[in-house]
Amino acid sequence: MKIIYCFVLALCCLACTGQNDGKGRLPVVELGDIRAHAVQEKLALEEMGAHVQAICLETNDSCLLNNITQLEDVDYFWIVADRQVYQFDKDGSFLRRIGQKGQGPEEYIAPEHILVDGQRRLVYVLDYLGRKVMTFDYDGRFTDSWALPEDYSLNRMALCEGKLCYTSFANSVAPDLLAYHRATGGLDTLSFRDRTMGQEAYAGQTFVYRLRQKTYLYHYFNDTVYNVSRGKLIPAYLFRLGDSQFSYRQLTLIGDYTSEEAIDRPKVQLTNFVDTEKYLFIAYTVVNSWQPAPKPDSRFAVYSKESGEMHPDMLLASKDEPLFGLEAGNPVFASSDERSLYTVKQADKLTPVSDGLEEDSNPVIVKYTFD
């Protein structure tokens, strides 16, 4: 299998995060007009100066992966999660499992979220069903665990200024954001929802990411992306969905597939929000009604920080290797290298052109670096 494909167009960027325009106004990013049916504007990865690297993960009886739902990029290995947590080196060789499934004190029921602390050399596993957070060292050995706070629907976490920040997934006007002090067990409330809806459809989501050594938070029902600093939320820039954002009444169901307010135009549910040095990548699905659909209408938007252009419905393809394009519906994961991001491809989609792969091989990690 040919592993590396390099393209040479270099781009400079003007970051949209962090500072206002000198007049007290924050930078603004808008998703733009969303159509009822996908149009998929095509853009070649070569034109974005992309370097593409594909890594085949070793397949054996100890690490059979159905689908990678989480990926953490560390200097010299990857941590990935399916139903369990696994460690692979950068060549894709299997190293070990991290912990194991079960209901014992050193086991997790399901790894809802994973996080790597490079400074302490620890892997955090949030076990939502087991109501606890566990830590393991880089050799996979259990080191500690503690209970999640009661009465919170917490399913994501991030490291911020030496603390562990939890965020909620509940549909609400504002997310729960809590900062946990490992040394003392204390808990600070940075923000808390001020209301929740009744019988709700899924839409609210909180995204936390790291960029330029800072932690940022964005929540679906708030236009503002915040920098988490010194225990406070500091506005960094605005991200607006415009008419594509649901109203609360459109999310409140009063019967089967019927909401209090009719869906009058295509609405957006974000599934991922990955900010890199040069581009902002937004994965989302489009909802035209609450009637069941055969499959989600998945789409992919790209915002260029250099040009200020938003491409709301994109297909990022390679002219030479179309199977390694970044398509709507592909999961996207942040990289420790702020110029890059990852996706995963199922082996059965790549076997026609990939030596050494079989249909039941583990998924392939694909890294896109935008120079």
Report the pLDDT value the prediction gives residue 345, as an integer from 0 to 100: 92
> How far is it, in rounded angstroms, from Cα 179 to Cα 164?
6
The torsion angle over the Cα atoms of residues 33, 38, 41 and 44, rounded to 10 degrees, is 130
Q: Count the domains in the chain.
A: 1
Query: Strand, helix or coil at 322?
Result: helix
CATH at 362: 2.120.10.30
Report the pLDDT value the prediction gives residue 192, as an integer from 0 to 100: 76
Q: What domain range includes position 81?
A: 4-370
Report the pLDDT value the prediction gives residue 1, as an integer from 0 to 100: 33
Residue 246 identity = F
Residue 238 to residues 88, 222, 225, 302, 323: CA-CA distances in angstroms? 37, 9, 6, 16, 34
Q: What mean pLDDT value characterizes the chain?
A: 86
The pTM for the full model equals 0.86
Residue 28 to residues 16, 19, 149, 196, 220: CA-CA distances in angstroms? 8, 11, 35, 27, 15
pLDDT, tens digit, for every residue of 248-291? Answer: 889 888 888 899 999 999 999 999 999 999 999 999 999 999 99
> CA angle, corner 104, sides to 98 and 107, nearest 5?
15
Residue 173 has pLDDT above 80, yes or no: no
Residue 71 has pLDDT above 90, yes or no: yes
* The two three-digit tokens of residue 266, written as one number: 């295509």
Q: Which of 119-128, 214-223, 346-355 has the highest mean pLDDT?
A: 119-128
Residue 157 has pLDDT above 60, yes or no: yes
pLDDT, tens digit, for every residue of 234-251? Answer: 999 999 999 999 988 898
